[in-house]
Amino acid sequence: MSEKIRDSISDFHDYGIYLPTKTITIIGEVDEALFKNVITNLHVLDSISGDITVKLCSTGGDLDAGKAIYDAVRGCKNRVRIIGYGLIASCATLIMQAADERILAPNAKMMVHIGSEGYIEDHVYNVRNAIKSYQADRTWIEDVYLEQIKKKHPRYTRQKLEDLLVFDTYMTPKECLELGLIDSIGEIQ
């Protein structure tokens, strides 16, 4: 293999994309830089026909960046499979829900919660706007989870979900599968 080709392949690895298997890796905190990288990689791989695989290991991060990645995955014309490794937490669990196929590795775990807006100290109208935004985000988060859970448990209630999300809830792959947050346990080669 020529040095130029080897350097090009190495560059793709630096950006979390592997063209021969149409695989993207999402590792680390979800933020604007990760979002930019993932969106670019999805665009490249979605221009080639065939399934896209995303390997995900993230403790979450910025909900807005997570929502953007969620929308980008949902917008792919090709089928997207997300495989979770290690800890999949917070907004990373929402990204996982966007996939056509959701797989959790046998030794992985998920942590779901409603998140937090943090402490707001500002003019009363800005505080009101921040609370309104937080409530809209909370509803979106609950809707994403409920869409998946109700496929398996049609009578599952929003109140039951709210109770689950009040605190950080860690779940094994088996618990995630039983709830409907993943489709299978295992690893796709």
| Residues 120-170: tens digit of each pLDDT | 556 666 666 767 777 888 999 999 999 999 999 999 999 999 999 989 999
**Residue 45: its pLDDT value, please?**
96
**Residue 86 neighbours by CB under 8 Å, 6+ apart:** 57, 105, 108
CA 53 to CA 130: how far, in whole Å? 36
Beta bridge partners of 136: none
Q: Which residue, among 81, 63, 82, 84, has the nearest Cα to 172 in the 3D structure?
A: 84
- Each domain of the chain, given as residue ranges in start order, spans 3-185
pLDDT band at 9 (very low <50, low <70, confident <90, very high): very low
- Per the annotation, the verdict on 90 as an active-site residue is yes
2-31 mean pLDDT: 74
**Residue 127: its pLDDT value, please?**
61
Q: Which of 10, 58, 90, 116 is catalytic?
A: 90
**Residue 138 neighbours by CB under 8 Å, 6+ apart:** 114, 115
**In this model, does residue 5 exceed pLDDT 90?**
no
**Residue 112 neighbours by CB under 8 Å, 6+ apart:** 89, 90, 93, 145, 164, 165, 168, 169, 171, 181
64 CB burial (10 A radius; 0-12, 13-18, 19+): middle
Q: Which of 10, 13, 113, 184 is catalytic?
A: 113
Mean pLDDT (the chain) is: 88
Task: Out of 7-16, 22-31, 77-86, pick the least confident.
Answer: 7-16
**In this model, does residue 171 exceed pLDDT 70?**
yes
pTM: 0.85
**In this model, does residue 184 exceed pLDDT 50?**
yes
For the segment(s) 3-185, the CATH number from 3.40.228.10, 3.40.50.150, 3.40.50.300, 3.90.226.10 is: 3.90.226.10
